[in-house]
Amino acid sequence: MPRIVNARVIVTCPGRNFVTLKIECDDGTTGLGDATLNGRELSVASYLSDHVVPCLIGRDAHRIEDVWQFLYKGAYWRRGPVTMAAIAAVDTALWDIKGKLAGMPVYQLLGGAARDACMVYAHANGTTIDDTIAVAKAEQAKGYKAIRLQCGVPGLASTYGVAKHGARYEPADADLPSESVWSTEKYLRVVPELFKAAREAMGWDVHLLHDIHHRLTPIEAARLGKALEPYNLFWMEDPTPAENQEAFKLIRHHTTTPIAV
């Protein structure tokens, strides 16, 4: 059985920040796992180096589930994005090792391929509905079958999730959080208008998506989902904070619009 003899945390920035865990076994086999958490990369790197790596030395790399349970249940402070990003990196790296030792890609160990390709979606952001639709139509012309739409809220100086014109939106950078005026009522009015315009301009042969960025209460999210039902969204993403799992049940009781988390 391969024993873990070392684990290294690698922080790089080839255009954006990445945190990678490299686990090394006594037989020379290595495995890689991604631990990137946008805007909190160094927090994850520190948690891995200070708390996780010491727990791995000497363990059987084949006992993936045992290691996962130990890291999750053995710590007093559980869950949270930093902890789970670190555990996920260990889990992925150990599967990488198992696949190499078996001489098979990991997807074969997990039951084999179920499809030969996967659908991806494009982002269409704009400060106005017209701007967003123009970007979305350009992405549709490129061949995208799914497009996420986000637009500014009229009357607000800025809208979370929509970058300034020409800039790249980074959802979780390392800067201090921005403070801005927000109006849920204005937001709930403009989003259905956005998707009404999108269907009129783009038709029904494209999947449309929207990210709420955790900004609503369960009742508000249910209200939005109901208002979006005529436009057949592929999903509305992160309607409420993910920590409250019961909120999703409440939302689903009131709308058929799918939820992505």
Find out whether 4 and 23 touch, Cβ atoms under 8 Å: yes
Residues with active-site annotation: 160, 213
Complete DSSP assignment for 131-195: HHHHHHHHHHHTT-SEEEEEEPPTT-S--TT-PPTTPPP-TT-SSPPP-----HHHHHHHHHHHH
Give the integer Cα–Cα distance in Å for 242 and 260. Answer: 10
Tell me the CB-side half-sphere exposure of residue 82, using CA atoms within 13 A. 17
Report helix, strand and coil shares of the chain as percent, to nearest 5: 40, 15, 40
Strand duo 146-151 + 122-126: pairing: parallel
254: buried, middle or exposed (CB in 10 Å: 19+, 13-18, 0-12)?
middle
Give the integer Cα–Cα distance in Å for 47 and 28. Answer: 25
